[in-house]
Amino acid sequence: MTDDFEDHCWKDVIPPETLEVYSCYRRKTFIGPNPALLAIDLYEVVYRGGALEPHLLAKTHPNSCGRYAHEAIEPTRQLFAAGRAAGLRIFYSTGDTRDASKPNFVTATKRVRPPVDPSDYAIRPEFKPQPGDVVITKQRASVFYGTPLLAHLTQLGIQTLIVCGESTSGCVRATAVDAYSNGFHVVLVEECCFDRSPLSHKVNLFDMHHKYTDVMHLSDVVTHLKTVQPAVRKAG
C-alpha cells in the first residue's frame, strides 16, 4: 500500500523472508482522532552515567539506557513542543515509590532487585510536567495496569495515544499492547522510544508495527500535530 511501511530502524535486522511473511500487514499509517501524548518512564535513573554504551554502565547504573536515552532527548523535546502547541493532554508515567504501597517481600521471580531511591523516579527536567498534566505512578510495566489511566482517557474522550519513552521492549511495549487491546489507536514515535538493547528495540518496534500500532517518524508526527484540534470533553 505504501513503500514507506518498512522504512524504519529494523531494516538491518529483519530478514527478507520475515518481511514476506508480514507483507499482508501493509497499510497506511495515521494519527487517529482525539489524540493525547503519553510519555513513559522518562525518569532520571535511565539517564544516569551519561551518554555511554549501556554495557559500560551495567555495573554502576544497571537501569541506565546510556547513549540511547541521551540521543532521544532532543527528538522528545520536539515531540513535547509539538504536542503542547496542539493543546494535547499530556500523561506521564513513573514508578510508584510510596511506602506501604505493596507487600514488601513479594516478587514474581527470584530476581534480586536493588533498593529504590525516590529521586531515581523524578521526571527528567527537559520534560518537566506542567500544571494540568497528569503523572501516573505504577508498579508494573504497563501504564494501564493497576492505575486509573483508562478512566481519565475515557472521561476526556481520548481515542488515540501518541507514545514515547522507554524501554521499547519493556514498559513501552506493555503499555502499547494494553492501549491497543483497550481500543485506542496507538502511534509510537520511533526516534522518541529507546532501550538498553538495540536488537530488542528494533524487533519490538517491528512486532508492534505489524500487530498493534503505527510506528511513525517524528517528522511525520510533528507535521500532523500542526493540524490537530485538541480533544475536549463537552459538558453535555
Q: Which of residues 55-114 bind a second copy (CB under 8 A)?
A: 55, 58, 62, 89, 98, 100-104, 106-112
Sheet holding 160-166, edge to edge: 134-138, 90-95, 35-40, 160-166, 185-194, 214-216
Q: Residue 197 and residue 39: Cα distance in Å, rounded?
A: 20
| Residue 203 lies near a second copy (rule: CB under 8 A) | yes
DSSP 14: S
Closer of 226 and 234 to a second copy (Cβ): 234
| Residue 23 lies near a second copy (rule: CB under 8 A) | yes
Considering only residues 109 to 138 of the shown chain, the ones binding a second copy according to CB under 8 A are 109-112, 129, 132-137
Residue 10 and residue 206 in contact, taking contact as beta carbons nearer than 8 Å = yes
| Residue 52 lies near a second copy (rule: CB under 8 A) | no
Closer of 62 and 74 to a second copy (Cβ): 62
| Residue 21 lies near a second copy (rule: CB under 8 A) | yes
Query: Applying CB under 8 A, which of residues 206, 218, 221, 225 lies at the interface with a second copy?
Result: 206
Q: Residue 87 and residue 3: Cα distance in Å, rounded?
A: 32
Query: Applying CB under 8 A, which of residues 50, 85, 116, 181 lies at the interface with a second copy?
Result: 181
Within 10 Å of residue 126's Cβ, how many Cβ atoms? Answer: 12
Number of residues that bind a second copy (CB under 8 A): 94
Query: Applying CB under 8 A, which of residues 155, 219, 223, 229 lies at the interface with a second copy?
Result: 155
| Residue 225 lies near a second copy (rule: CB under 8 A) | no
**H/E stretch holding 77:** helix 73-85
Q: Kindly provide the residue ranges of all beta strands, DSSP E only, lying in 150-205, ordered along the sequence.
A: 160-166, 185-194
Query: Applying CB under 8 A, which of residues 52, 73, 122, 156 lies at the interface with a second copy?
Result: 156
Measured in residues, the chain has a length of: 236
Least separation in angstroms between residue 85's CB and a second copy is 19
CA atoms within 13 A on the CB side of 164: 27
Closer of 15 and 125 to a second copy (Cβ): 15
Closer of 74 and 230 to a second copy (Cβ): 230
Residue 230 and residue 89 in contact, taking contact as beta carbons nearer than 8 Å = yes
